[in-house]
Amino acid sequence: LYGVTDNDPAYFHQVVQLLALQPLLERYPHALSGGEKQRVSIGRALLSKPDLLLMDEPLASLDIPRKREVMPFLEQLTLSVNIPVLYVTHSMNEVLRLADYLVVLDNGQELISGPVEPVWSSAVMRPWQAFSEQSTLLSGYIAQHQTEYGLSCIMLADDVGIWVQQVDGELNAAIRLKIRATDVSVTLQKPQKTSIRNILPAKVRAIEHLQQGENRKSVALQLALAENCFLWSTITEWALDDLQLSVGSSVYAQIKGVSVAQRDITLSHC
């Protein structure tokens, strides 16, 4: 096999297991699907025992079913290998599911870099997110499963927990989740008898006025849920004026439990 530097059956078996390649070993390349070819290519790269693995948009040429086929193997790869993986992508979903550290480049210039959560939530990232997809990336751990209702509680900080659609993970497992700013509303008083499962006390940390086109205006509120735990909310300018919000205002952030879906949740690599 091209790229193998030494005969190491144990390592070969480990790579085959990691990428589920056993059924493919006796097949010719022309008989493999696009997703299978990508898995084989990754396996060949790993068998060369590199010091660094560079993956340049490995899913870009695949259709959606093949991307879904390969993505779980990439997630497992980032959790299993003990080498740095430099992953180049234009896909925000791939960033959500795979990245620990994010470097944003535009025309060859670095705009921002750092741990993925604060970089994702920064204003620099807005051009890469659709207007309705402005969001916050948060890390936490699974504190509780409410299987009767199909929900899991993710602790984001001390005394800050959020209910989301049930996560397939063990208690205390590290979790990363995305919350869309348009799914977060604010109120000045804690509501009673409401269907919304997540009502979190917060303080307004920053206010930014946004505009897309001539008529599409909104306001981005950065809400502090705890020290170093922030959440973006998108509201109208009318709501901002009506509630008389300013930096330092005390509010309650409201998030529907069903609004954070499985596609927005991933096991963390930390």
Domain ranges of the chain: 9-88, 131-267
pLDDT tens-place string over residues 52-69: 889 898 888 888 887 888
DSSP state of 148: T
**Residues whose CB falls within 8 Å of the CB of residue 63, separated by 6 or more in sequence, listed in order:** 34
Q: What would the pLDDT profile of 189-203 be if each residue is shown by its tens digit?
A: 999 999 999 999 999
Quote the tokens at residue 116: 């993925």
Instruction: Tell me the pairing of strands 85-88 and 53-56.
Output: parallel
d(CA 179, CA 247): 22
User: Do β-strands 250-255 and 265-267 pair in parallel, antiparallel, or remain unpaired?
Assistant: unpaired
Residue 2 has pLDDT above 60, yes or no: no
Q: Between 49 and 212, name the one with better pLDDT.
A: 49
| Residue 203, pLDDT score | 98
pLDDT at 122: 86
CATH superfamily membership of 9-88 = P-loop containing nucleotide triphosphate hydrolases (3.40.50.300)
To the question of domain 131-267 being in CATH 2.120.10.30, the answer is no
Comparison of pLDDT for 255 and 12, the residue scoring more: 255
- Which pTM does this prediction carry? 0.81
Q: What pLDDT is stored for residue 207 in this prediction?
A: 95
Residue type, 90: H
Strand intervals (E) in 120-249: 135-146, 151-157, 160-165, 174-180, 184-187, 198-212, 216-226, 229-235
DSSP string, 208-226: EEEEETTTEEEEEEEEEEE
What pLDDT score was predicted for residue 241? 96
Q: What is the predicted pLDDT for the residue at 6?
A: 58
Instruction: Determine contact, residues 247/149, Cβ cutoff 8 Å.
Output: no
